[in-house]
Amino acid sequence: MNLVKEIKVNGNGNGLFLKIVLGALTAGLAGAGGGMIKLYRDVGVLQTSSGIEKRVDTLEVLARDIGTDRDKRTIIIQGFRDDILDIKRRVENLEKRR
């Protein structure tokens, strides 16, 4: 604050100190505004999901389908095993009758 008193004492009326302070504040405000705009644009790009979210959704659907297919195959294989055991049992019964 000595600089302010010195400027007033010397009678320098052009307000150099005030101009410097206002210039620094304006530059800071402009920089912060530019940063906020860039941040807003980056968030907007992320919100529109540049295909990553769609890919993740597609992969989740695929994983569900694979799980469903695996469950179906397990049921089918178990059915085959049951059929094979039934056939073996019938063959054994036929062999015992002879």
Average pLDDT value for residue range 30-52: 77
Average pLDDT value for residue range 46-75: 80
* Residue 16 pLDDT: 79
Average pLDDT value for residue range 27-35: 88
Name, in order, each residue with C-beta under 8 angstroms of 7's C-beta and a sequence gap of 6 or more: 16, 17
User: Could you tell me how far CA 56 lies from the centroid of its own chain?
Assistant: 9
